[in-house]
Amino acid sequence: MPDAFLPELLQPLVQALVQGTLLGGYYAIMAVGLSLMVGVVRFINLAHGDMAVLGALLVITLTQGLGLPIFAAILIMLPVMALAGYGMHALLFERAMRGGFLLPILVTIGLGAALQNSMFGLWGSNTRSLGADIGALSWASWTLPGGVLVGQLPVLVCLCAVLVIGSLHLVLRHTRLGRAIKATSTDAEAAELCGVDARRARRAASAIAVGLAALAGVFLAMRGQITPYSGPAQLIFAFEAVVIGGLGSVWGTLVGGIVLGISQSLGGLVSNQASLLTGHLVFLAVLLLRLFREWTAAHGGWRASVRAWTTLHRGRFARRKGEKA
Amino acid sequence: MTTRYRLGGLSRLDTTLMAAGAVLLALLLVLPLVASPLVVDKLTLLMIYVLLAVSWNLLAGFAGLVSVGQQTFVGLSGYFVLRLVEAGIAPLPALAAGSAAVLVVAWPLSWIVLRLRAAEFAVAMWVIAETIRSLVMFDPLVQGETGRSLMTLNAMDADLRRTIVLLAAVLAVSVALVTSYRLLRGRLGGESQAIRDDEEAAGSIGIDTLRVKRTIFLVSALGCTVAGSLWLASAITYQPRTAFGINWSVFMLFMVLVGGLGSFTGPVIGALLLFAIQEVFGDYGSWYLAGLGVVAILFALYAPGGVVGLITGRSLREPLSMRKTLVAPRG
């Protein structure tokens, strides 16, 4: 549709940008819990995505199986999943963390495999969705000037992301528990010396992380379809958003999620396959850039490090030539 | 007067184990003459498991690098073999060349990923596996999700192909065991274990940590690629989703963790266990895989030394140990 407001060529581009930004909200909810875990507990829960799927499947069972209204189902599921996160930390991770930094990662891989396959055993292989339970919200959209369509659900999810991240920010800053979590993430030993219960802070962080993952999982099931094996992909997206946004920063996660969402939807203009690939490539580029900056920071700025590197290698080269002569 | 300590050598048990292992592998070499095709196929799978477990243990058990993305190399070698065969190279040389070609990818990759922090390395490898899978699926030859069969290999006499693949697998496992033994017993083994236990301290006593980690990473990648080629040669069909599947990592984790992380005999025992469990419970499908996950968690929490650790207990007399022990001279 030709439009005076937006040239026809630009319309899909703007559409992709808007959709990508909104998609980023979903990734941010998924990622902010992971970021909290990385900061406080210092390892990456590889079953994070599977927790999201578990939350979604619980809500699906409560609504479609027991006939509860969806809002009530979410309100029941969230504390259950948060409790699961608390218990998971108390039962599994604390013990694993005593055995060094390798074991927690290994435990979460095992946990992921156990969760995915048990969910497959319990819920079967069918794709499931919450789309039918939210009525018109799943497809309704607003039309912006220029013919850009904005889905109502993505807007809701994105607003929810801002709300979640904002309140997490406030909790971390202004409550006793939040300050304990922050202190533990900065320096657990020093925090303990100051009377902070680091163990409690870690358990709480784990509960928040799993609860938020489950909330994200519900949104995922509202937007589209899920299977018991959807988790690993969500973990990868969350991890990418965390790394792009910068480790340990709550608002950075929102930025990371939006960057990831925009890259994916721009890639989606080419093809479905290219969408995921673009996301991965942007992530790898950010990672490379960060490594390069860490490298230069360790050598006194990038100019100095490049000069040092070339001098070093020129020296080596000259020596080798000398040996030959 | 100073006492002259020396590094401990092999115990009686160690030499017996080595001899037994050599005899077993030699027996496997003549087995195709008498065994049924089904047995030959199963043994090939077992060899592939051993190869994967040994490679993953090198990385996680000796260099402290937990990767969830070693399927990158399993999948990539299959893809390279497919491409080489398409280019007109005979299947068997292609299988060998495909494995070697993966190093061209692994080498530059090692420069990047080994600079990451521990947990990041694990997931970054996974993202890399996914990235390479999406790239491979762009190739029309692979036909996206459908995958493709190695036609020329299928055209070979089935029994001959089976025999050759098993022989190649036994050979690969022997080479992997001997090479990793020599590597780990030597200087590199000491250096890598120092890095695993405390990277900063290892660096401060003059170990080039990046070089050591890179060597281990490349050797481990090579093991996975050979396993990938062997698997393609026995399964014939190449599907990107299976070849780059996370299940490879789950299997490797299970074998190494249950067998004994950081021990030499552990991964072999783990591979035998996984193979046996799969034979018995494999039909339960997803519950079987869930069980593997649960068992891996239990071992990580309650027996981090795996079966080898349970057997040897606290005696430190682990068979074929890679620990450097000091022995005081007699008298």
Q: Is the pTM of this model over 0.90?
A: no
The shortest C-alpha distance from B257 to chain A (Å) reads 8
User: A96, B300: Cβ pair inside 8 Å?
Assistant: yes
Mean predicted confidence (pLDDT) in A121-126: 89
Rounded distance between C-alpha atoms, residue B249 and residue A112, angstroms: 12
pLDDT attached to residue B184: 86
Residues 175-204 of B with CB under 8 A from A: none
Residue B261 near chain A (CB below 8 Å): yes
Q: How many domains does chain A have?
A: 1
pLDDT attached to residue B119: 76
The shortest C-alpha distance from B293 to chain A (Å) reads 4
Has residue A4 been placed in a domain? Answer: no
- Whose tokens are 């299970």? That residue is B254
User: B300, A110: Cβ pair inside 8 Å?
Assistant: yes
Tell me the chain B residues in contact with residue A292 when contact means C-beta distances shorter than 8 Å.
none
Residue B129 near chain A (CB below 8 Å): no
Q: Label residue B156 by pLDDT band (50, 70, 90).
A: confident
Has residue A5 been placed in a domain? Answer: no
**Which of A54, A107, A122 is most worth mutating to test chain B (most B CB atoms within 10 A of its CB)?**
A107
Mean predicted confidence (pLDDT) in A46-73: 93
And the tokens for B168? 């190649």
Residue A130 near chain B (CB below 8 Å): no
Rounded distance between C-alpha atoms, residue B48 and residue B168, angstroms: 10
DSSP helix/strand/coil, B329: coil
Has residue A286 been placed in a domain? Answer: no
User: A99, B304: Cβ pair inside 8 Å?
Assistant: yes
User: B64, A102: Cβ pair inside 8 Å?
Assistant: yes
**Beta strands B237-238; A141-144: pairing state:** unpaired
Rounded distance between C-alpha atoms, residue A89 and residue A200, angstroms: 10
pLDDT attached to residue A157: 92
The yes-or-no verdict on residue B296 having pLDDT over 50 is yes
pLDDT cut 90: percent of chain B above it? 33
pLDDT digits (tens, 9 = 90+) for B11-52: 778 888 888 888 888 888 888 778 788 888 899 999 999 999
Q: State how far Cα B210 lies from the chain centre.
A: 21
Residue A112 near chain B (CB below 8 Å): yes
Residues 252-311 of A with CB under 8 A from B: 273, 276-277, 280-281, 283-284, 287-288, 291, 294-295
Has residue A86 been placed in a domain? Answer: yes
Has residue A289 been placed in a domain? Answer: no
Please tell me which of the candidates A121, A236, A284 has its beta carbon nearest to residue B286: A121
pLDDT attached to residue A187: 84
* Structural contact between residues B83 and B135, judged by C-beta atoms closer than 8 angstroms: no
Residue A239 near chain B (CB below 8 Å): yes
The yes-or-no verdict on residue B315 having pLDDT over 50 is yes
Q: How many CB atoms lie within 10 A of CB B207?
A: 18
pLDDT digits (tens, 9 = 90+) for B232-281: 888 888 888 888 988 899 999 999 999 988 888 899 999 999 999 998 88
Amino acid at B190: G
Angle at A218 between CA A212 and CA A221, to 5 degrees: 145
Comparison of pLDDT for A324 and A94, the residue scoring more: A94
User: A232, B246: Cβ pair inside 8 Å?
Assistant: yes
Residue A121 near chain B (CB below 8 Å): yes
- Dihedral of alpha carbons A59, A64, A67, A71, sign: positive
Residue B96 near chain A (CB below 8 Å): no
Q: Which residues contact A217 (CB under 8 A, 6 or more apart)?
A: A51, A52, A53, A54, A55, A56, A226, A234
User: B293, A291: Cβ pair inside 8 Å?
Assistant: no
Residue B294 near chain A (CB below 8 Å): yes
Please tell me which of the candidates B118, B123, B293 has its beta carbon nearest to residue A117: B293
Q: Label residue B53 by pLDDT band (50, 70, 90).
A: very high
The CATH number of the domain holding residue A244 is 1.10.3470
Rounded distance between C-alpha atoms, residue B31 and residue B259, angstroms: 26
Amino acid at B203: G
Please tell me which of the candidates A95, A101, A236 has its beta carbon nearest to residue B127: A236
Residue B78 near chain A (CB below 8 Å): no
The yes-or-no verdict on residue A323 having pLDDT over 60 is no
The answer for A60, left when phi > 0, alpha when psi is -120 to 50, beta otherwise, is: alpha
Burial class (CB in 10 A: 0-12, 13-18, 19+), A296: middle
Has residue A76 been placed in a domain? Answer: yes
User: A105, B290: Cβ pair inside 8 Å?
Assistant: no
User: B300, A42: Cβ pair inside 8 Å?
Assistant: no
Angle at A221 between CA A219 and CA A225, to 5 degrees: 145
Has residue A318 been placed in a domain? Answer: no
Which residue stretches of chain A are H helix?
10-40, 48-60, 70-88, 94-97, 102-123, 152-174, 176-186, 188-193, 198-223, 231-245, 250-268, 272-297, 301-324
Has residue A325 been placed in a domain? Answer: no
Nearest CA in chain A to B144: A273
- Domain region containing A177: 10-269
Q: Among the listed ranges A90-99, A105-114, A208-217, which one has the minimum average pLDDT value? A: A90-99
Please tell me which of the candidates B122, B130, B257 has its beta carbon nearest to residue A44: B122
The shortest C-alpha distance from B130 to chain A (Å) reads 8
Mean predicted confidence (pLDDT) in A42-69: 92
Q: Which residues contact A257 (CB under 8 A, 6 or more apart)?
A: A24, A25, A26, A27, A28, A29, A30, A31, A161, A241, A245
pLDDT digits (tens, 9 = 90+) for B174-192: 999 999 888 888 888 888 8
Nearest CA in chain A to B254: A110
The shortest C-alpha distance from B112 to chain A (Å) reads 7
DSSP-derived letter for residue B330 is: P
Tell me the chain B residues in contact with residue A288 when contact means C-beta distances shorter than 8 Å.
112
The shortest C-alpha distance from A32 to chain B (Å) reads 16
Residue A103 near chain B (CB below 8 Å): yes
pLDDT attached to residue B64: 86
pLDDT digits (tens, 9 = 90+) for B111-138: 889 888 777 888 899 999 999 998 988 8
And the tokens for A130? 């919450």
pLDDT attached to residue A183: 87
DSSP-derived letter for residue A148 is: E
Q: Label residue A325 by pLDDT band (50, 70, 90).
A: very low
Nearest CA in chain B to A98: B301
Q: Label residue B329 by pLDDT band (50, 70, 90).
A: low
Residue A114 near chain B (CB below 8 Å): yes
User: B293, A280: Cβ pair inside 8 Å?
Assistant: no
Amino acid at A211: G
pLDDT digits (tens, 9 = 90+) for B265-275: 899 999 999 99
Residues 298-327 of B with CB under 8 A from A: 300-301, 304
The yes-or-no verdict on residue B230 having pLDDT over 50 is yes
Rounded distance between C-alpha atoms, residue A253 and residue A164, angstroms: 12
Tell me the chain A residues in contact with residue B293 when contact means C-beta distances shorter than 8 Å.
109-115, 117
State residue B6 phi and psi, 5-degree precision: -135, 165
Mean predicted confidence (pLDDT) in A165-174: 91
User: B289, A109: Cβ pair inside 8 Å?
Assistant: no
Comparison of pLDDT for A315 and A29, the residue scoring more: A29
Nearest CA in chain A to B290: A114
